[in-house]
Chain A
């Protein structure tokens, strides 16, 4: 596959105009960490945006960073850490800001920090045919017209190329602790009931990892509440998170999402290699290739009011989107020549 690597917004717009005129199909790539998400697409060239990687504006007192899409999440968080702030997405190494936004890849800490879409305040994009568009504002509150930042978050590079975003930041926690214990979803439920304001509770078939962040005295108090609730615990300060990742190494990893109380019924159809975010309803499931196990998981997720798109390996998104006519009109308006990863997105025929 050919590679196009624009060094500036103007080059990016020109590349898209040319591709639209020529009917040349493009797959937008950043750090290539979220490319498995989406249905199978055929592209003639990869459009790589990693050369556009500046921190455009950062006033720590605003807790907002304006970042070009090609910047890696690591580089961004390194710049923010010096001011005691973070953009809490916990993306894999090499992932770019634009890629995380386009894939709506939320942090395993989302119980406390929220989904990534709540952090995107402003977006600057270039449409499929090379028009530059800005939506949102560089303020924490803004209701002025239609929320284009949310429309683009999770759009998998199918409406336009995200060139730049303004992100709402959080203070970096002063203390970080992982508390490990045995059990599974039942122990996780006991911890959720006993510990107020945990950052995350990850459950696997037989283990639970409780993540605590914040003021040291709060972390200490919550640790004691956890000990009372479940008995024996292991405590690891400043450990990387999450440490429980049984889904890693499987040919296919699905990221199921169901209402949180239905996780126990979901995992009945998930085999053994799963890690669930208790209280959130996300569950990563490691699966063999071949599709039968994935099909069973998807049927169960659907029965429970959820979905199970694949985030690693083959399998695609797997469920139809609502309001297909609205989806079609949006695609037509933002990418009239249909050159951006045709077929990759939900609802595209």
Chain B
């Protein structure tokens, strides 16, 4: 086991400088610590030189100043639940972990806002808000462990984004330490802020523009009435057709989640949610708002579901039953561990009117590669999450998983979809970006990034593929970047 004294001299000097500000426990360089922080919840692993745990904005500034002095790349990280490798460090990185900055600074119900530090856990914040009749609306499935800082970095979604919108709609302002150590506040407690919407650029930027040290979140009143329904269908296509019909009828439910028979089969024994085990698919639909509208919308949705051959209908009678129906959906990812040791969770978006068609094509790809997929996803948004389950011990299976994954992404994009709905690009999809954007589009994105980080110190090699450069903006030609294939980025491995 390498000792500290064996660190390269430059890294050791950086460690000492950081320890002076953060304390000896505030920065780790031992092989075990570095191994723990060399990946997030994706399959991609990298390497890092140092792991820092700042407790305040001043300490974050110190981290960035030391990183600049010793020319270390900086990788911000929250709880590490990201699925796209956005927090997987590469090379000599300094990983800046914000989990110890976990104070709720203030809650101002009268302004429907709260200031929180980035390490506050999403569900912890919502537990504090519930007695006030308020909520921070984004509810990613990881909300028990994911931090608000991480939610901001990935522009996180969740089931209730359907009616309430993505994280960016719920972030009023951020305090950001720029790569050169300058602290700026972007956005405002007021409904409009001076300048360009730089706050909007920071949300979803996956830690590439600076380190967020405080977030002003918008709070939403809890709805006066809620109705939760579960429909069982004889085919996945019927469930998908119901989703399309509901949206087309001008109804935006609070959530509309589709789970296929494999998902039901893993969820039921695990969560006893009361899902019909004989159904090929279930649709979990929640409507909220005022009592009259909720009743009318629930009735209309039931009509549409029945017209699309729904065989069973459950309507939660009370909070306990509602919680049970949701427990099934929310524990699905954990339940998958009961059937296979590894999974690869996808995240793509397709137009909502083409759900059934794309699901059938995904099914075909999965069968052709002799794989097993479990489907549970935010159907109302068209946000697909095919989950390929496997055992890495099986020779050759990883190659099949990656090949199928590549095809799934292409099918979704061909249908007019997007590369990622809520997990982000990170390393995982970086080299697929040219499938979604022309070289000039990527160069323009790089300009946005370079405006914050001209030295490219923040989370380098993430989000944008090599070759997308602001300086090449005028020179980029179609075809230069057009031949991307899904391969592992250099410096990372699975």
Report A's interface with B, CB cutoff 8 A: 59-63, 84-85, 104, 106, 110, 114-115, 117-118, 127, 129, 131-135, 137-148, 150-151, 153-155, 159, 170-172, 196-197, 214-218, 220-222, 255, 257-262, 279-282, 305-307, 309, 317, 319-323, 326-327, 329-330, 333-334, 345-347
* B186 / chain A contacts, CB cutoff of 8 Å: 322-323
Q: Is the CB of B193 within 8 A of A307?
A: yes
- How many Å lie between the Cα of A150 and that of B445 in the bound state? 12
Q: Is the CB of A134 within 8 A of B438?
A: yes
Known: A322-B185, A330-B448. A143 touches B195 (CB 8 A): no
B:60-106 near A, CB below 8 Å:
none
- How many Å lie between the Cα of A104 and that of B166 in the bound state? 19
Q: Is the CB of B418 within 8 A of A322?
A: no
Q: Is the CB of A139 within 8 A of B165?
A: no
Given A307-B190, A346-B194, list of 6 further CB < 8 A pairs?
A145-B445, A197-B223, A307-B194, A327-B198, A330-B448, A334-B444
Q: Is the CB of B191 within 8 A of A281?
A: yes
Q: Is the CB of B423 within 8 A of A143?
A: yes
Interface locus among B109-117, B231-239, B329-337 = B109-117
| Contact pick for B165, options A62, A63, A118, CB 8 Å | A118
- Shortest C-beta distance, A262 to chain B (Å), equals 8
Q: Is the CB of A133 within 8 A of B421?
A: no
Identify the closest chain B residue to A60 (Cβ): B248
Residue of B169, B423, B445, B470 most packed against chain A (CB within 10 A) = B445
Selected A-B contacts with CB under 8 Å, 27 pairs: A104-B192, A131-B474, A135-B444, A138-B416, A139-B349, A139-B417, A140-B381, A141-B349, A143-B204, A146-B205, A146-B448, A147-B201, A153-B200, A172-B250, A196-B221, A217-B293, A218-B289, A221-B291, A257-B190, A258-B190, A259-B111, A281-B111, A305-B188, A322-B195, A329-B447, A329-B451, A333-B451
Q: Is the CB of B197 within 8 A of A150?
A: yes
Q: Is the CB of B349 within 8 A of A142?
A: yes
Residue of A63, A146, A327 most packed against chain B (CB within 10 A) = A146
The digit string for B436-459, where 1 denotes a CB below 8 A from any CB of A, is 111011101101111110100000
Q: Is the CB of B351 within 8 A of A155?
A: no
* B349 / chain A contacts, CB cutoff of 8 Å: 137, 139-142
- How many Å lie between the Cα of A131 and that of B441 in the bound state? 9
Q: Is the CB of B189 within 8 A of A259?
A: yes
* A170 / chain B contacts, CB cutoff of 8 Å: 252
* B178 / chain A contacts, CB cutoff of 8 Å: 323, 326
Interface size of B in residues (CB-CB distance below 8 Å): 91
* B463 / chain A contacts, CB cutoff of 8 Å: 145-146
Known: A221-B292, A259-B190, A321-B195. A146 touches B250 (CB 8 A): no
Asked if B141 CB lies within 8 Å of chain A CBs, one says no
Identify the closest chain A residue to B208 (Cβ): A146
Q: Is the CB of B447 within 8 A of A61?
A: no
- How many Å lie between the Cα of A141 and that of B418 in the bound state? 8
Q: Is the CB of B203 within 8 A of A133?
A: no
* B421 / chain A contacts, CB cutoff of 8 Å: 139, 141-143
Q: Is the CB of B473 within 8 A of A322?
A: no
- How many Å lie between the Cα of A218 and that of B296 in the bound state? 10
Known: A61-B352, A329-B450, A329-B451. A117 touches B438 (CB 8 A): no
* B444 / chain A contacts, CB cutoff of 8 Å: 127, 131, 133, 135, 148, 333-334
Report B's interface with A, CB cutoff 8 A: 108, 110-113, 154-155, 157, 161, 165-166, 168-169, 178, 182, 184-186, 188-198, 200-201, 203-205, 221, 223-224, 244, 247-248, 250-252, 289-293, 296-297, 349-353, 378, 381-383, 416-425, 429, 433, 436-438, 440-442, 444-445, 447-452, 454, 463-464, 470, 473-474
* B191 / chain A contacts, CB cutoff of 8 Å: 106, 110, 115, 257, 260, 280-282
* A85 / chain B contacts, CB cutoff of 8 Å: 250
* A140 / chain B contacts, CB cutoff of 8 Å: 349, 352, 381-382
* A260 / chain B contacts, CB cutoff of 8 Å: 110-112, 191
Q: Is the CB of B290 within 8 A of A218?
A: yes
* B350 / chain A contacts, CB cutoff of 8 Å: 139
- How many Å lie between the Cα of A321 and that of B188 in the bound state? 11
Q: Is the CB of A59 within 8 A of B224?
A: no
- How many Å lie between the Cα of A61 and that of B293 in the bound state? 21
* A143 / chain B contacts, CB cutoff of 8 Å: 154-155, 157, 166, 204, 420-425
| Contact pick for B296, options A114, A139, A172, A217, CB 8 Å | A217
Q: Is the CB of A153 within 8 A of B197?
A: yes
* B166 / chain A contacts, CB cutoff of 8 Å: 141, 143
| Contact pick for A132, options B111, B223, B440, B451, CB 8 Å | B440
| Contact pick for B382, options A141, A147, A214, A347, CB 8 Å | A141
- Shortest C-beta distance, B83 to chain A (Å), equals 12
| Contact pick for B157, options A141, A151, A218, CB 8 Å | A141
Q: Is the CB of B353 within 8 A of A59?
A: yes
Residue of B196, B204, B290, B291 most packed against chain A (CB within 10 A) = B196
- Shortest C-beta distance, B225 to chain A (Å), equals 9
* A307 / chain B contacts, CB cutoff of 8 Å: 188, 190, 192-194
Identify the closest chain B residue to A261 (Cβ): B110
- How many Å lie between the Cα of A261 and that of B112 in the bound state? 9
Identify the closest chain B residue to A63 (Cβ): B247
- How many Å lie between the Cα of A321 and that of B185 in the bound state? 10
Q: Is the CB of A131 within 8 A of B420?
A: no
- How many Å lie between the Cα of A321 and that of B421 in the bound state? 31
- How many Å lie between the Cα of A219 and that of B223 in the bound state? 16
* B423 / chain A contacts, CB cutoff of 8 Å: 143
- How many Å lie between the Cα of A346 and that of B198 in the bound state? 12
